[in-house]
Chain A
Amino acid sequence: MIGRATLAVAMLLGFGTDIVLATDAKRSGYDDASAETRAMQDDDAANPAFLWVAQGESLWSTPAGPSARSCASCHQDARISMRGVAARHPKFDPTLGRPISLEARIQQCRTERQGAPALPPEGDSILGLTAYVGLQSRGMPMAVADDPPVRPFLDAGQRLFETRMGQLNLSCAQCHDRLAGQRLAGSTIPQAHPNGYPLYRLEWQGMGSLYRRLRNCLTGVRAEPFPPDSPEVVALSLYLAWRANGLKVETPAVRP
């Protein structure tokens, strides 16, 4: 009886208040995946995302644009220069006056410094390059800053996370904060931490960015997806990454 009463109180509290997860209560999507999926991620030879990583590695030293410079011309060895970079993104960009994702940072470097056309959005090349850069931070804890310039974006992201959307009238928080760990049909509801992007999703049979995932979620609740690089996507991506602070970067992860 006591047990049941405590549970009821806990549920009441859970539904009524904002939940901020403590680091030890955070669960990566990896922990909720099946043993087979985890084994696939653990073995770099079996993780299909490494096909994209190999492409990214060769792109790193391929010259592009009129400057004929490659990423390696300025950043040299990615294994040293890119270590920890993915764990800190999205990061505030003073010139743009807003946070910028790792993909967008790579595209910015490409168009502004290399003078080359941007890579096709969500194409194999940008996913590969981002995965290769992300891989250099694998195992490091996510450490997205929440200093004053990003504060308004974080707040906007949190508001979006808690806003009901679409014909199903659901917010992200309803499932991923309050019901995480419970089941939706056959699968466990994850806490929605973006610590493994870009990742290989078995359902896609391919690599995808966080934006692709967000678009999936939004159409899932029958809302109109936000356009890529819209203020909403920037804010939501930042909030999600900050919310995962402390979890280890798993790029490139494998998810069902």
Chain B
Amino acid sequence: MVRVLINAPKQVRAGQAFEVKLLINHPMESGQRRDTFGQAIPREIIHSITCTLGGQEVFQADLFPAISANPFLAFWAVATQSGDLTIRFTDDQGTTQTDSVAIAVV
């Protein structure tokens, strides 16, 4: 289980843009390093992230090996009705994880 911090306002106004910040605890091993025995360390990165708000996709990103460990992503979104902000990401091992926070439109 990867630790994820989703920083988004709990309450937003309908139609007003708000910022979402994501911080994901992940080594993002690039696959280009070697260990002390000269063996290549296999690539192990999160390669895709999708973010939905009330079931509708608001943000999608493909990540590549040059992204640092513990990646930080920020984007803006607009909500028209209350719903769950859900992030879903997949890493090279094929593991998919989903985390969500509730956002209320007032």
Contacts and interface: CB of A to CB of B under 8 A. Distances in A.
A55 interface: yes
Given A50-B23, A51-B23, 8 more contacts: A43-B21, A45-B21, A46-B21, A46-B74, A48-B72, A55-B3, A205-B27, A206-B70
A8 interface: no
B3 A54 contact: yes
Interface of A: 43-46, 48, 50-51, 54-55, 205-206
A45 B70 contact: no
A205 B69 CA distance: 6
Contacts, number: 30
Contacts of A51: 3, 5, 23, 25, 70
B20 to A, nearest CB: 9
A88 B23 CA distance: 31
A115 to B, nearest CB: 27
Interface residues of B, number: 12
A45 B9 CA distance: 12
A44 B5 CA distance: 10
Interface in B41-87: 68-70, 72, 74
Contacts of A206: 69-70
B16 interface: no
A43 B70 CA distance: 15
Interface of B: 3, 5, 7, 21, 23, 25, 27, 68-70, 72, 74
| Residues of A contacting B: mostly | loop
Contacts of A45: 5, 7, 21, 23
B70 A205 contact: yes
B5 A50 contact: yes
A177 B65 CA distance: 40
Residue in B3, B27, B68, B74 whose Cβ sees the most chain A Cβ within 10 Å: B3
B22 to A, nearest CB: 9
Contacts of B25: 48, 51
Contacts of B69: 205-206
Nearest to B22: A45
A127 to B, nearest CB: 12
Contacts of B27: 205
A198 to B, nearest CB: 15
A44 B27 CA distance: 20
B67 to A, nearest CB: 12
A206 B25 CA distance: 9
B72 A46 contact: yes
A46 B72 CA distance: 7
Nearest to B25: A51
What 4 pairs across the A-B complex have the smallest Cβ distances?
A: A45-B7, A205-B69, A45-B21, A48-B70
A51 B37 CA distance: 31
Nearest to A45: B7
- Give the most central of A43, A45, A54: most B CB within 10 Å: A45
A43 B72 CA distance: 12
A124 to B, nearest CB: 9
Contacts of B68: 205
B66 to A, nearest CB: 14
